[in-house]
Amino acid sequence: MVGILLLTHAPLGRAFIEAATHVFRSPPGQIEAVDVLADQDPDQVHALAVAAIERINDGSGVLVITDVMGGTPSNCTLSLCLPGQVEVIAGISLPMLLRAITYRHNTLDVAMEMALAGGQNGACKVDNRVRLSPN
- Rounded CA gap, 106 and 100, in Å? 10
98-119 per-position pLDDT tens digit: 999 999 999 999 999 999 999 9
On the question of pLDDT at 130 being above 80, the answer is no
Average pLDDT, the chain: 94
Q: What is the pLDDT of residues 36-51, one digit of tens each?
A: 999 999 999 999 999 9
Q: Residue 15's closest CA among 87, 124, 97, 76? A: 97
What's the fold here for domain 3-121?
Answer: Rossmann fold (3.40.50)
Euclidean distance between CA atoms 91 and 99, whole angstroms: 14
Q: How confident is the model at residue 33 (pLDDT cuts 50, 70, 90)?
A: very high
The model's pLDDT over 49-79, given as tens digits with 9 standing for 90+, comes to 999 999 999 999 999 999 999 999 999 998 9
